[in-house]
C-alpha cells in the first residue's frame, strides 16, 4: 500500500483562548490554555486514523516539546524516519483562539528546523507514495535542504504541495523549483487566489493546473462551502457538511491527511475529497489540532 509521508515541521501548539485580540501594546487574559502536538502531526495522525501507513521525516528535539511530538505520533502508529536532535528541543507555536474560531499564530523555531537533504532521504519515498511538502518549510534554513531533497525524489512519487500563506511571497525561482516536481496542489481559497492573482475563486483551479502542468491534480478548499477537485480538464465541486465550528485549528491539515490516506487506500479523488470534507467538518466541532476523526467516525457521520 502507498504511504503518506511528510517532510514538514512538527511543532507543539500552545492554544490560548481569549475573548478578543488586544490592541497593540494592550493586554488580554486567556480563558484557558491547552498544549497539543501540531504542524505535520495533524496531517499524519489524520492519515493514520483513516487507515494509511504514515511516516514523519522532519527533525525533532529531545526536550519536553520533542517528547510530546513523539508521544502523539506513536499513539496513532505514525513512524519517525529520522533520529532526535540531542542538542535542542522542538519549537512551539502560540495560538490565540477567539470565540469566532479565528486563530492568530506566534511561532518559535527549534530543532524541527535542523534538517538536511540527507536527513529527509530517510523517508525513502517510493513510486506510489504520497509525499507532503509545506510552504512553511521554504523559509530559511530549511529551504535549500528541502529543494535539494525534492529534486532527488523518484518519478512516480505523488508530490503534494500544501503551500500555506507564504508560498505566493517566495521568489519566482523558488516557486518554479517546487512546482516542477509537484503533482498535487491542495490549499485554501486565499492561498489559491494569492498565487494566481485571480479574485474569482472558481477560476483558480484551472489557472493553478496551467501553472503546475497538465498532469497536476488541484484541490482548493473553501471552508464551509467545501472544495473543488480539478483534474483531467474538469472541476468537480464537493460540498461541505454544515456544522457549528468551535475551533478551526488543524481543519485544513485534517482534510489533507484524510484526502491522501483515502488515495493511498485506493479511492478516486472525488470520493477522497468527500470523506476529507466530512472529516474536516467533524474536526472543527472539537478543540485542538489533534481532532481528526477515525475512519469509523467518518463512516457514521456520512451515514
Kindly report, residue by residue over 4-22, the tens digit of the pLDDT: 999 999 999 998 999 999 9
Query: Residue 248: is its pLDDT beyond 90?
Result: no
Count of CB atoms within 10 A of residue 37's CB?
27
C-alpha angle 123-112-190 in degrees, rounded to nearest 5:
90
pLDDT tens track for 122-149: 999 999 999 999 999 999 999 999 999 9
pLDDT score, position 189? 96
Report the C-alpha gap between 212 and 279 in whole angstroms: 27
Q: What is the dihedral of CA 92, 46, 75, 3, to 10 degrees?
A: -110
Query: Residue 38: is its pLDDT beyond 70?
Result: yes
pLDDT score, position 287? 79
Phi and psi at 218, nearest 5°, equal -120, 125
Query: How far is the CA of 89 from the CAs of 45, 80, 85, 130, 267, in angstroms?
Result: 21, 16, 8, 28, 38
Q: Is 21 strand, coil or helix?
A: coil
Of 28, 95, 25, 73, nearest to 250 by C-alpha is 95
Strand ranges in the chain using DSSP code E only, listed in sequence order: 4-6, 10-18, 30-39, 54-56, 79-80, 92-97, 103-108, 130-134, 158-162, 184-188, 217-221, 227-231, 234-238
User: Considering the chain, what percentage of its residues have pLDDT values greater than 90?
Assistant: 88
Phi and psi at 103, nearest 5°, equal -125, 145
The predicted model gives 211-218 an average pLDDT of: 95
Cell triple for 64: 519536553
pLDDT score, position 250? 83
The predicted model gives 262-280 an average pLDDT of: 97
Burial 39-59 (b: 16+ CB within 10 A, else e): bbbbbbbbbbbbbbbbbbbbb
| Residues found in the chain | 303
pLDDT score, position 101? 77
pLDDT score, position 245? 85
Q: Which residues pair with 144 in a beta bridge?
A: none
Find cell 529543494 and name the residue: 147
Record the pTM.
0.92
List own/partner pairs for 269-277 with CB under 8 A and 24 or more apart.
269/217, 269/219, 269/229, 269/231, 270/229, 270/236, 270/238, 273/219, 273/227, 273/229, 273/238, 274/238, 274/302, 275/50, 275/302, 276/227, 277/226, 277/227, 277/238, 277/239, 277/240, 277/241
Run of H or E residues at 149: helix 143-150
Tell me the pLDDT of the chain averaged across its residues.
Answer: 95
pLDDT score, position 238? 97
pLDDT score, position 247? 77
Amino acid at each position: 500500500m502507498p504511504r503518506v509521508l511528510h517532510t514538514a515541521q512538527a511543532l507543539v501548539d500552545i492554544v490560548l483562548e481569549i475573548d478578543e485580540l488586544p490592541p497593540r501594546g494592550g493586554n488580554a487574559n486567556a480563558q484557558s490554555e491547552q498544549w497539543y502536538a501540531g504542524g505535520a502531526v495533524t496531517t499524519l495522525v489524520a492519515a493514520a486514523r483513516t487507515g494509511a501507513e504514515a511516516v514523519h521525516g522532519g527533525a525533532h528535539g529531545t526536550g519536553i516539546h520533542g517528547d510530546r511530538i513523539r508521544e502523539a505520533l506513536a499513539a496513532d502508529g505514525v513512524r519517525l524516519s529520522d533520529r532526535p536532535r540531542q542538542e535542542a528541543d522542538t519549537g512551539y507555536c502560540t495560538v490565540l483562539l477567539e470565540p469566532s474560531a479565528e486563530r492568530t499564530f506566534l511561532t518559535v523555531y527549534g530543532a524541527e528546523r535542523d534538517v538536511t537533504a540527507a536527513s529527509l532521504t530517510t523517508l525513502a519515498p517510493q513510486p506510489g507514495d504520497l509525499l507532503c511538502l509545506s510552504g512553511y518549510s521554504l523559509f530559511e534554513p530549511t529551504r535549500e535542504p528541502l529543494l535539494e531533497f525534492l529534486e532527488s525524489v523518484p518519478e512516480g512519487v505523488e508530490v503534494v504541495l500544501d503551500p500555506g500563506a507564504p508560498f505566493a511571497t517566495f521568489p519566482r525561482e523558488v516557486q518554479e523549483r517546487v512546482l516542477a516536481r509537484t503533482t498535487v496542489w491542495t490549499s485554501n481559497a486565499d492561498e489559491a487566489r494569492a498565487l494566481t492573482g485571480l479574485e474569482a475563486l472558481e477560476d483558480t483551479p484551472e489557472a493553478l493546473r496551467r501553472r503546475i502542468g497538465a498532469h497536476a491534480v488541484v484541490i482548493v478548499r473553501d471552508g464551509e462551502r467545501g472544495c473543488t477537485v480539478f483534474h483531467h480538464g474538469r472541476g468537480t465541486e464537493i460540498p461541505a457538511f454544515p456544522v457549528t465550528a468551535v475551533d478551526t485549528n488543524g481543519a485544513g491539515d485534517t482534510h489533507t491527511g484524510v484526502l491522501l490516506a483515502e488515495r493511498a487506500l485506493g479511492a478516486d479523488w472525488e470520493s477522497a475529497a468527500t470523506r476529507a470534507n466530512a472529516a474536516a467538518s467533524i474536526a472543527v466541532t472539537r478543540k485542538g489540532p489533534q481532532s481528526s476523526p477515525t475512519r469509523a467516525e467518518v463512516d457514521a457521520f456520512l451515514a
